[in-house]
Amino acid sequence: MNREFSNVYGDERRAGAYADLEFPGTYYLAFRDLPELIGKHVKGPDALDFGCGTGRSSRFLKELGFGVIGIDIAEAMLGHARERDPDGDYRLVPDGNLSPLNELRFDLVFSAFTFDNIPDAKKRTALLRDLGRLLKEEGRIINLVSAPEIYVNEWTSFSTEDFPENKTATSGDLVQIVMLDVPDQRPVEDIFWADADYRDQFENAALELLETHHPLGKDSDPYTWASENRVSPWSIYVLRQEGRTGT
């Protein structure tokens, strides 16, 4: 299934559709538990939003009281972020190069879905290692990614029924999914990664896994769930640099 991968969010039409997306449906479930998780693990106010896109996650962090720098490789996405949040700090960074941030340190490095779009295992490990170096002594990385199950079930906000080949995907393969909450119904291509391979990459990047959270839908949520109340579509990893302090 391996095919050449290109980041779809550099496309202006895709970026425009994504810019209007906030936290509907299945996305609500991705962010619902984050305030409690962040409050448990993060001690300071300085945050980096790695792969901020159109700024949805940066604005989310700002509402929680963080001072946020959002970075992305897609200028099309950043333009929408700046338009919606003129006072925000949104920066274009070279793909895979975090050196412009070398002098900065953060209490929280947050990544929402960014690692769904990074294809090479060595590059992923290198980025994770570099993100770890940007942490303060008690800093944490919170990495929100698509769980493998998202690509083989039907969801309130996603459909995979047209892509049976997803069922045989292994780590590093391209998988396809359709986002139902945006007018642009072209399939999105992601990179499939199994939990075990994420854990290997964390270990190779000298990151310690503190907690893994798989949010499930509840009857009290403001949505009617498809699969979300039976299987989690998201994996949320809380990490720190090996040898750092804090619980």
**pLDDT value of position 243:** 83
**Running along the chain, 247 residues long, what does each successive block of 10 average in pLDDT?**
47 59 88 98 98 96 98 94 96 92 97 95 97 98 98 98 98 96 89 98 98 98 97 98 75
Cα gap 36→155, rounded to integer Å: 24
Closest CA to 151 of 136, 142, 162: 162
Asked if 167 and 152 count as a contact pair (C-beta separation under 8 A), the reply is: yes
**pLDDT value of position 21:** 65
**pLDDT value of position 2:** 43
* Model confidence pLDDT, tens digit, residues 20-61: 667 899 999 999 999 999 999 999 999 999 999 999 999 999
Q: ∠ CA(53), CA(66), CA(135), 5° rounding?
A: 80
Q: ∠ CA(93), CA(94), CA(95), 5° rounding?
A: 115
Give the bridge partners for 144, in sequence order: 112, 236
Cα gap 48→117, rounded to integer Å: 18
**pLDDT value of position 182:** 85
Fold of 8-148+193-241: Rossmann fold (3.40.50)
Q: Which amino acid is at 232?
A: S
**pLDDT value of position 54:** 93
Give percent of the chain with pLDDT exceeding 70. 90
* Model confidence pLDDT, tens digit, residues 205-224: 999 999 999 999 999 999 99
**pLDDT value of position 82:** 97
**pLDDT value of position 205:** 98
Q: ∠ CA(216), CA(218), CA(219), 5° rounding?
A: 155
Q: Tokens in use for 200?
A: 């290997």
**pLDDT value of position 11:** 59
SS3 helix, strand, coil % of the chain, rounded to 5? 35, 25, 40
Domain ranges of the chain: 8-148+193-241
**pLDDT value of position 16:** 54
**pLDDT value of position 20:** 63
